[in-house]
């Protein structure tokens, strides 16, 4: 937008200050990727009506004098190119920003410090290893060194073929878990940068690296594949230490290190950990540790070009729950004690027991209990999810596994020991929480928390389908369905950027996108007992366009679109080639379709009632239009128009062929309405058909993974609020809140995972004796994005909430709600309540955001803002808004 001339640099505005200056990288990262930095900031201003008219950046590298850039006339505060060019390895850069308003300049912000990590060229070290059995004893690699000066700065750069845990001088080097995480290992393995300054000291020092097979070599996938990326696990590390007088010492993994074994006898992501504490000979990370009998290490052949700096937060402990015994046998667990965490999580049990040396303690895990009160483990399939410990000494000891995690709420502890305490330790990629929600509807609030926990539990390094069975894979369909909600609940920009890089690496030469990323089933996929082509499947492969666009829309920075534009182009080009001259995509031997449509045959979740080819062509249109929008924003405007024309042609053909099917299913109608397929003249009839379907079924949801994110939007954008709320608040199966009434604390994979009679769904799958049932799948939780936009009433009209619709929708069953979203510009929050005659809203709008009021009013309603007639738009500030005689949506009391 036009901005006035910048004020003189000498004129200050003390009422305005920059409260947050950051880049796309999480502040917890010690060092980041070597790229050009783009800045974003949030501002607090005490003056109503003020706006940013200009900004100015100053910067310096490695404590050099400040360089002050010229002011820039702009109201932009996101995606701002920072001076200095790409970061160099080890370089430390500081940035400050100040902004101008119409009355003067704010003070300079606090400095943002950014440090460059190492790239493959500067990561000079060897990958070292000793021979180990598959998922057997964990190797420990160590060395000692003498530091002849007092350190003032030390950085440990760490990675692995497998998983690695580093210790220096008896202390963990970081709180990161499952390092370096899971990526497309053949092309990309992350380097962790760790501040080790406080861990090293003048004199003798030691470092140890414990290595597990993890995703690299261990058993992964329902096909039971092992050694997917290599037949040897190993670690690589480089410790760089600087002294005050410029001294330097580097310790890197090489053939001088030695390796041996300790108490970890087995470590498997699926099967758990076995630890024999009788074999604990002390801490190998301490100087003087006895390495008699240890082996010289082997140097593994490895292309160092696969190593890249970490740009996403690592997995960390993010919470915990004290576990309660479901019996009084904690004094002697010899016959087993079942413990309940009260919450389904990803993680493990931290157990404190008292027992005799040589005693074995076994901890098994499950999400739910069978009717007889025992653990329900059938849904785990071949994953044993069992941790075993053998006590090394008599007395009290704390037990905790390594290099594994389990999806569980319940644990069974067996062994002749006294259970002193048990705590369920929850882990996840450590993303900042972005949003909160609560309301007058307890079941909806609980479902919201279930969705939050399903995201946490399934964002362990990558976006997985489930955290418990022999799967835990990065299914692209689940990811795209949930992306909007994921971006609303958490600051997931860096998480998606990392995963999307792997998605692009996994695209084949023809541009087809894999069904899961990292892709470990290429050429080995089966469904219904027969081989299938897992590349380029509709609604799954479209993650290539949907996830980047969703992230941009939520955050407001097009950086992720720039990174993924080539991948998006390749995917849509692939679809164009498949369609050829026929406009529509051809029929395929297999598509996932509207996966797990509740009306599909119970053992054929791909065989939904909405024709799979109809679904495929609808998503073809959607991806094409998303690419067109991206081209218009950051690419080729002429290509954008060509893509729009193509999407229109395909949409016309889809409507001609499937308009009758669109009227018959919720998913068909929702796709045609939300993807702009239905012609304007036919829109009222399709809306009526969808609304009639919902009323006739009393709000029964009849969509699978692809239709669920769309159906409430299709209703509400057409003004069918009663139908939307009836579906949202329905309590009978299938519905979102049915799960809550059955005690769920995360989102289920199947709508009826626990049946009305209390029995557990067998998860039947044609051609698969193992079944498919999970109690922790986030896909159906996609509805929560709609809840924030429409129940709470905070909906971004432009990317990043720069313009936000304020449109809460009170209902007879929902009379109060409050929500907050940490937008890129600052905290946006709302709290509203309604009685039959008055809606009261308390609204906080951050600086740089404009709010548009959209309230449901009846004839004669009066809207006031702080006691004055309500304007159409509001700038930053805190407001009290009232609306007399609000329209309140009627919801069937029996349904809610």
Contacts of 299 (CB under 8 A, 6+ apart): 126, 127, 128, 254, 255
Is there a contact between 293 and 328 (Cβ–Cβ < 8 Å)? no
Integer-rounded Cα Rg, in Å, for the chain is: 28
In angstroms, the CA 628 to CA 407 distance is: 40
Rounded to 5 degrees, what are φ and ψ at 672?
A: -65, -35
Around 315, how many Cα atoms within 13 Å sit in the side-chain half-sphere? 27
Is there a contact between 155 and 226 (Cβ–Cβ < 8 Å)? no
Nearest Cα to Cα of residue 299 among 250, 238, 239, 254: 254
In angstroms, the CA 413 to CA 416 distance is: 10
Angle formed by the axes of helices 476-489 and 543-555, nearest 10°: 0
Sign of CA dihedral 684, 687, 692, 695: negative
In angstroms, the CA 654 to CA 621 distance is: 9
Angle (CA) 843 845 848, round 5°: 165
Told to judge if 94 belongs to the known catalytic residues of this protein, a careful annotator would answer no
Residue of 367, 471, 493, 723 marked catalytic:
471
In angstroms, the CA 767 to CA 771 distance is: 9
In angstroms, the CA 731 to CA 737 distance is: 5
What the block records as the tokens of 304 is: 């160092």
Nearest Cα to Cα of residue 291 among 282, 301, 299: 282
Told to judge if 749 belongs to the known catalytic residues of this protein, a careful annotator would answer yes
Burial call 117-132: b when 16+ CB within 10 Å, e when fewer: bbbeebbebbbbbbeb
| Paired sense of beta strands 386-390 and 272-276, if any | parallel
In angstroms, the CA 75 to CA 779 distance is: 37
Burial classification of residue 486, based on how many CB atoms lie within 10 Å of its CB (0-12 exposed, 13-18 middle, 19 or more buried):
buried
In angstroms, the CA 312 to CA 431 distance is: 9
**How far is residue 93 from each of residues 69, 152, 191, 244, 497, measured CA to CA in Å?**
15, 18, 20, 19, 23
What the block records as the tokens of 156 is: 């440990």
Angle (CA) 742 705 595, round 5°: 105
DSSP 585-643: PPP-S----STT-TTS-TT-TT--SS-HHHHHHHHHHHHHHHHHHHHHHHS-HHHHHHH
Is there a contact between 605 and 596 (Cβ–Cβ < 8 Å)? yes
Residue of 144, 674, 749, 795 marked catalytic:
749
The torsion angle over the Cα atoms of residues 400, 405, 407 and 408, rounded to 10 degrees, is: -10
Sign of CA dihedral 212, 214, 216, 221: positive
DSSP code for 512: P
Contacts of 241 (CB under 8 A, 6+ apart): 147, 151, 153, 154, 196, 200, 248, 249, 250, 251
Burial call 595-616: b when 16+ CB within 10 Å, e when fewer: bbbbbbeebbbbbbbbbbbbbb
What the block records as the tokens of 864 is: 């006031």
Paired residues of 204 in beta bridges: 146
Active site residues: 471, 749
């Amino acid at each position: 937008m036009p901005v006035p001339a910048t004020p003189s640099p000498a004129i200050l505005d003390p009422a305005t200050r920059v409260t947050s200056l950051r880049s796309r990288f999480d502040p917890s990262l010690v060092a980041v990727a070597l790229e050009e930095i783009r800045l974003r900031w949030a501002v607090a201003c005490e003056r109503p009506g003020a706006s940013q008219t200009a900004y100015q950046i100053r910067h310096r590298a490695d404590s050099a004098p400040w360089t002050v850039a010229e002011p820039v006339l702009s109201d932009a505060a996101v995606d701002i190119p920072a001076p200095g060019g790409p970061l160099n390895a080890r370089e430390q850069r500081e940035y400050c920003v100040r902004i101008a308003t119409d009355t003067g300049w704010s003070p300079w912000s606090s400095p943002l410090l950014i440090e460059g990590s190492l790239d493959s060229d500067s990561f000079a070290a060897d990958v070292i290893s000793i021979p180990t059995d598959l998922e057997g004893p964990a190797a420990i690699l160590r060395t000692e060194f003498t530091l002849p000066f007092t350190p003032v700065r030390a950085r440990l750069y760490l990675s692995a073929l497998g998983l690695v845990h580093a210790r220096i001088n008896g202390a963990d080097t970081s709180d990161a878990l499952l390092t370096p995480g899971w990526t497309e290992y053949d092309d990309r393995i992350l380097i962790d940068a760790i501040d080790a300054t406080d861990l090293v000291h003048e004199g003798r020092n030691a470092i140890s690296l414990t290595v597990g097979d993890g995703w690299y070599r261990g058993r992964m996938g329902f096909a039971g594949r092992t050694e997917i990326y290599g037949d040897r696990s190993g670690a690589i590390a480089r410790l760089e230490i600087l002294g005050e007088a410029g001294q330097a010492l580097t310790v890197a993994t090489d053939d001088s290190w030695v390796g041996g074994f300790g108490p970890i006898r087995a470590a498997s992501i699926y099967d758990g950990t076995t630890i024999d504490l009788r074999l604990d000979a002390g801490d190998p990370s301490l100087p003087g540790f006895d390495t008699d009998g240890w082996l010289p290490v082997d140097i593994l052949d490895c292309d160092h070009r696969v190593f890249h700096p970490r740009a996403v937060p690592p997995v960390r402990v993010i919470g915990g729950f004290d576990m309660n015994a479901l019996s009084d046998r904690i004094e002697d667990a010899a016959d087993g004690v079942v413990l309940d965490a009260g919450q389904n999580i990803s993680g493990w049990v931290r157990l404190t027991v008292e027992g005799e040396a040589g005693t074995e303690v076994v901890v098994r895990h499950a999400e739910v209990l069978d009717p007889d009160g025992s653990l329900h483990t059938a849904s785990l399939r071949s994953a044993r999810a069992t941790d075993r410990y053998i006590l090394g000494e008599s007395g009290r000891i704390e037990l905790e596994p390594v290099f594994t995690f389990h999806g569980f709420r319940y644990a069974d502890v067996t062994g002749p020991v006294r259970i002193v305490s048990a705590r369920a330790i929850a882990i996840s990629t450590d993303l900042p929480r972005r949003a909160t929600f609560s309301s007058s509807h307890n079941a909806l609030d609980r479902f919201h928390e279930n969705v939050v926990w399903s995201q946490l539990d399934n964002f362990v390094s990558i976006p997985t389908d489930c955290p418990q069975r022999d799967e835990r894979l990065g299914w692209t369909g689940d990811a795209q369905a949930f992306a909007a909600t994921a971006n609303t609940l958490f600051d997931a920009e860096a998480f998606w950027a990392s995963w999307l890089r792997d998605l692009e690496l996994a695209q084949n030469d023809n541009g087809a996108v894999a069904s899961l990323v990292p892709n470990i089933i290429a050429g080995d996929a089966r469904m219904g007992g027969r081989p299938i082509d897992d590349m380029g499947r509709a609604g799954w492969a479209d993650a290539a366009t949907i996830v980047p666009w969703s992230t941009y829309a939520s955050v407001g920075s097009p950086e992720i679109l720039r990174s993924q534009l080539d991948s998006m182009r390749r995917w849509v080009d692939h679809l164009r080639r498949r369609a050829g001259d026929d406009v529509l995509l051809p029929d395929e031997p297999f598509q996932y379709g509207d996966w797990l449509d509740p009306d599909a045959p119970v053992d054929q979740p791909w065989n939904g009632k909405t024709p799979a080819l109809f679904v495929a062509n609808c998503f073809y249109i959607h991806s094409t239009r998303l690419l067109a929008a991206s081209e218009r924003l950051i690419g080729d405007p002429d290509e954008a128009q060509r893509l729009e024309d193509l999407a229109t042609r395909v949409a016309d053909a889809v409507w001609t062929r499937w308009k009758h099917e669109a009227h018959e299913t919720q998913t068909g109608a929702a796709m045609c309405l939300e993807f702009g397929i239905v012609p304007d003249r036919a829109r009222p009839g399709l809306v009526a058909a969808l609304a009639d379907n919902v009323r006739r079924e009393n709000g029964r949801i009849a969509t699978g993974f692809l239709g669920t994110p769309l159906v409430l939007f299709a209703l509400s954008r057409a003004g069918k609020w009663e139908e939307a709320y009836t579906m949202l608040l329905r309590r009978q199966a299938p519905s979102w809140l049915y799960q809550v009434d059955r005690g769920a604390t995360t989102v289920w994979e199947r709508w009826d995972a626990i049946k009305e009679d209390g029995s557990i769904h067998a998860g039947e799958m044609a051609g698969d004796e193992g079944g498919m049932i999970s109690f922790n799948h986030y896909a159906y939780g996609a509805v929560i994005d709609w809840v924030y936009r429409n129940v709470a009433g905070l909906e971004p009209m432009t990317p990043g909430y720069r313009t936000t619709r304020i449109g809460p929708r009170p209902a007879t069953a929902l009379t109060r709600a409050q929500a907050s979203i940490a937008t890129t510009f600052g905290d946006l929050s709302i709290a509203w309540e309604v009685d039959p005659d008055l809606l009261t809203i308390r609204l906080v709008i951050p600086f740089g955001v404009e709010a548009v009021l959209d309230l449901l009013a009846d004839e004669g309603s009066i809207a006031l803002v702080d006691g004055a007639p309500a304007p159409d738009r509001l700038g930053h500030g805190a407001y009290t808004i009232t609306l007399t005689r609000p329209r309140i949506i009627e919801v069937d009391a029996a349904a809610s």
